[in-house]
Amino acid sequence: MSTATPSTNVLKAADFASDQDPRWCPGCGDYAILAQTKKVLAKIGADRSKTVFISGIGCSSRFPSYMNTYGFHSIHGRAPTLVTGLKLAQPELNVWMVTGDGDALSIGGNHLIHMIRRNVDVKILLFNNRIYGLTKGQYSPTSEHGKKTKSTPMGSPDMPVRPISIAIAAEASFAARAVDIDVKHLEYVLERAAKHKGSAFVEIYQNCNIFNDGAFEYATDKLTKSDTTLYLEHGKPLIFGKELDKGIRVHGMNPEIVRVKGTNDPQGPSLSSSPADDLLIHDEKAENPSLAFMLSRMRHPDFPEPLGVFRAVDQERYAQLVRNQSVDAVERLGKGDLQTLLRGSETWTV
Amino acid sequence: MSTVIESAETDGASGSPKPRKTLPAVTIRFAGDSGDGMQLAGTQFTDTSALLGNDISTLPDFPAEIRAPAGTLAGVSGYQIHFSSNDIFTPGDEVDALVAMNPAALRTNLKSVKIGGIVIVNEDSFSAVDLKKAQYTANPLEDGTLGRYRLVKVPIDKLNAAATADTGLGAKDTDRCKNMFALGLVYWLYGRPLDATLGYINKKFAKKPQVASANTKALQAGYNFGITTELFQEHYEVPKAKLASGLYRKITGNEAVALGMVAAAHLSGKELIYCSYPITPASDILHELSARKNFGVMTFQAEDEIAAMGAAIGVAFGGSLAATGTSGPGLALKGEAIGLAVMTELPVVIVNVQRGGPSTGLPTKTEQADLLQAMFGRNGECPVPILAATSASDCFSALIEAFTIATKYMTPVLFLSDGYIANGAEPWLVPDVDELPKIVIHHPTAANDEGGFMPYKRNEDGARPWALPGTPGLEHRIGGLEKQDVTGNVSYDPANHEHMIHLRAQKVAEIKPAGSAYLWNGPQSGDVLLVGWGSTYGAIRAAVQQLTEEGVSVASCQIRYLNPLPEQLGEMMKRFKHVLAPEMNLGQLRMLLRAKFLIDVQGLNKVRGQPFTISEITRGVHALLRGNLNGHMVSVNDGPAPQIEAINDEG
Ligand code: SF4
Using one digit for the tens of pLDDT, what is the confidence trace for B517-527?
A: 999 999 999 99
Beta carbons of B482 and B500 less than 8 angstroms apart: yes
In a domain, A302, yes or no: yes
The residues facing B56 across adjacent strands are: B83
- In which element (H, E) is residue B150 found? strand B150-154
Look at B299 and B243; give whichever has higher pLDDT: B299
Q: Whose CA is nearest to atom 5 of ligand 1?
A: A24
Ligand 1 close to Cβ of residue A82 (< 6 A): no
| pLDDT at residue number B62 | 84
Helices assigned H by DSSP within chain A: 30-43, 79-89, 101-102, 109-118, 163-169, 183-195, 217-220, 225-228, 290-296, 318-333, 338-343
C-alpha dist (Å) from residue B34 to B64, B65, B69, B82, B284: 10, 9, 9, 21, 19
Residue B10: pLDDT over 80: no
DSSP B282-321: THHHHHHHHT-GGGTEEEEE-SSHHHHHHHHHHHHHHTSE
Q: Are residues A275 and A193 in the same domain?
A: no
List Cβ neighbours of B244 (8 Å cut-off, separation of 6 or more): A350, B429
Looking at residue A4, the DSSP 8-state letter turns out to be -
Instruction: Tell me how far apart the alpha carbons of residues A68 and A54 are, in angstroms, rounded to a whole number.
Output: 13
Reported confidence tier of residue B637, pLDDT bands at 50, 70, 90: very low
State the best of B203, B304, B317 to mutate against chain A, taking most chain A CBs within 10 Å.
B317
Q: Are residues A38 and A134 in the same domain?
A: yes
Residues of chain A with C-beta less than 8 angstroms from the C-beta of B298: 88, 322-323, 326
Beta carbons of B356 and B366 less than 8 angstroms apart: yes
Domain annotation for chain B: domains and CATH numbers: 4-237 (3.40.920.10), 248-435 (3.40.50.970), 518-635 (3.40.50.920)
Ligand 1 close to Cβ of residue A35 (< 6 A): no
Reported confidence tier of residue B243, pLDDT bands at 50, 70, 90: confident
| pLDDT at residue number A276 | 57
Report how far ligand 1's centroid is from the alpha carbon of A163 (Å): 20
Domain boundary among A281, A304, A335: A281
| pLDDT at residue number B489 | 94
Q: Are residues A178 and A255 in the same domain?
A: no
Q: Give ipTM to 2 decimals.
A: 0.95
| pLDDT at residue number B629 | 77
Average pLDDT over residues B323-343: 98
Gap from A344 CA to chain B (nearest CA, Å): 7
Name the residue of chain B whose CA is nearest to A117's CA.
B303
State the Cα angle at B330 between B329 and B334, rounded to 5°. 125
| Residue from A23, A25, A136, A212 to probe ligand 1 pocket by mutation (most atoms less than 8 Å from CB) | A25
Q: Which atom of ligand 1 is nearest to the CA of A59?
A: 4
| pLDDT at residue number B639 | 42
**β-pairing verdict for B561-563 and B554-559:** unpaired
Residues of chain B with C-beta less than 8 angstroms from the C-beta of A71: 475-479
In a domain, A1, yes or no: no
Which amino acid, B437? Answer: P
In a domain, A348, yes or no: no
Residue B635: pLDDT over 80: no
Q: Are residues A128 and A261 in the same domain?
A: no
Q: Are residues A134 and A254 in the same domain?
A: no
Residues of chain B with C-beta less than 8 angstroms from the C-beta of A334: 294
Reported confidence tier of residue B636, pLDDT bands at 50, 70, 90: very low
Q: Whose CA is nearest to atom 3 of ligand 1?
A: A208
Q: How many domains does chain A have?
A: 2
List Cβ neighbours of B360 (8 Å cut-off, separation of 6 or more): B329
> B295, A334: Cβ pair inside 8 Å?
no
Instruction: Tell me how far apart the alpha carbons of residues B622 and A117 are, in angstroms, rounded to a whole number.
Output: 61
pLDDT in tens, chain A (350 residues): 334 444 445 899 999 999 999 999 999 999 999 999 999 999 999 999 999 999 999 999 999 999 999 999 999 999 999 999 999 999 999 999 999 999 999 999 999 999 999 999 999 999 999 999 999 999 999 999 999 999 999 999 999 999 999 999 999 999 999 999 999 999 999 999 999 999 999 999 999 999 999 999 999 999 999 999 999 999 999 999 999 999 999 998 899 999 886 665 554 444 555 555 689 999 999 999 999 999 999 999 999 999 999 999 999 999 999 999 999 999 999 999 999 999 998 888 88
List Cβ neighbours of B313 (8 Å cut-off, separation of 6 or more): A74, A81, A82, A85, B322, B337, B340, B341, B344, B346, B348
Which residue in the set A90, A322, A347 is minimally distant from B319, CB to CB?
A90
Beta carbons of B188 and B235 less than 8 angstroms apart: yes
State the best of B274, B475, B482 to mutate against chain A, taking most chain A CBs within 10 Å.
B475
In a domain, A55, yes or no: yes
Based on the number of CB atoms within 10 Å of its own CB, is A3 exposed (0-12), middle (13-18) or buried (19 or more)?
A: middle
* Containing structural domain, residue A259: 237-281
Ligand 1 close to Cβ of residue A103 (< 6 A): no
Name the residue of chain A whose CA is nearest to B336's CA.
A75
User: Tens digits of per-residue pLDDT, B415-474?
Assistant: 999 999 999 999 999 999 999 999 999 999 999 999 999 999 999 999 999 999 999 999
Average pLDDT over residues B37-41: 95
> B306, A78: Cβ pair inside 8 Å?
yes
Total residues belonging to chain B: 651
Instruction: Tell me how far apart the alpha carbons of residues B81 and B91 are, in angstroms, rounded to a whole number.
Output: 6
Which residue in the set A69, A85, A349 is minimally distant from B310, CB to CB?
A85
CATH number of the domain enclosing A103: 3.40.50.970
Residue B651: pLDDT over 70: no
Q: Are residues A258 and A223 in the same domain?
A: no
Average pLDDT over residues B503-512: 98
In a domain, A288, yes or no: yes
C-alpha dist (Å) from residue A40 to A12, A195, A199, B338, B647: 10, 10, 18, 35, 70
Which residue in the set B250, B316, B319 is minimally distant from A346, CB to CB?
B250
| pLDDT at residue number A305 | 98
Average pLDDT over residues B344-372: 97
Q: Are residues A226 and A258 in the same domain?
A: no
Residues of chain A with C-beta less than 8 angstroms from the C-beta of B478: 71-73
| pLDDT at residue number A263 | 60
Ligand 1 close to Cβ of residue A28 (< 6 A): yes
B630 touches chain A (CB under 8 A): no
| pLDDT at residue number B66 | 76
Closest-CA residue to B540 (of B594, B596, B597, B606): B606
Q: Are residues A132 and A87 in the same domain?
A: yes
In a domain, A96, yes or no: yes
pTM of the model as a whole:
0.91
Q: Which atom of ligand 1 is nearest to the CA of A29?
A: 8
Gap from A232 CA to chain B (nearest CA, Å): 34
Q: Are residues A44 and A115 in the same domain?
A: yes
Instruction: Tell me how far apart the alpha carbons of residues B511 and B383 are, in angstroms, rounded to a whole number.
Output: 12
In a domain, A340, yes or no: no
In a domain, A323, yes or no: no
Q: Give me the residues of B, 417-456, that contact A with CB < 8 A.
A: 430-433, 445-447
Reported confidence tier of residue B641, pLDDT bands at 50, 70, 90: very low
Q: Whose CA is nearest to atom 1 of ligand 1?
A: A133
Q: Give me the residues of B, 42-81, that contact A with CB < 8 A.
A: 47, 50-53
Which residue in the set B241, B317, B431 is minimally distant from A72, CB to CB?
B317
Gap from A41 CA to chain B (nearest CA, Å): 15
Find the distance separating the first CA and the last CA of chain A, reported in whole Å: 52
Q: Are residues A93 and A231 in the same domain?
A: yes
Ligand 1 close to Cβ of residue A169 (< 6 A): no
Closest-CA residue to A211 (of A101, A116, A126): A101
Q: Which atom of ligand 1 is nearest to the CA of A30?
A: 8
- DSSP, collapsed to helix, strand or coil, labels residue B56 as strand
Q: Are residues A82 and A163 in the same domain?
A: yes
Instruction: Tell me how far apart the alpha carbons of residues B541 and B532 are, in angstroms, rounded to a whole number.
Output: 10
Q: Are residues A268 and A205 in the same domain?
A: no
B450-455 CB contacts, 8 Å cutoff, 24+ apart: B451/B487, B454/B486, B454/B487, B454/B488, B455/B487, B455/B488
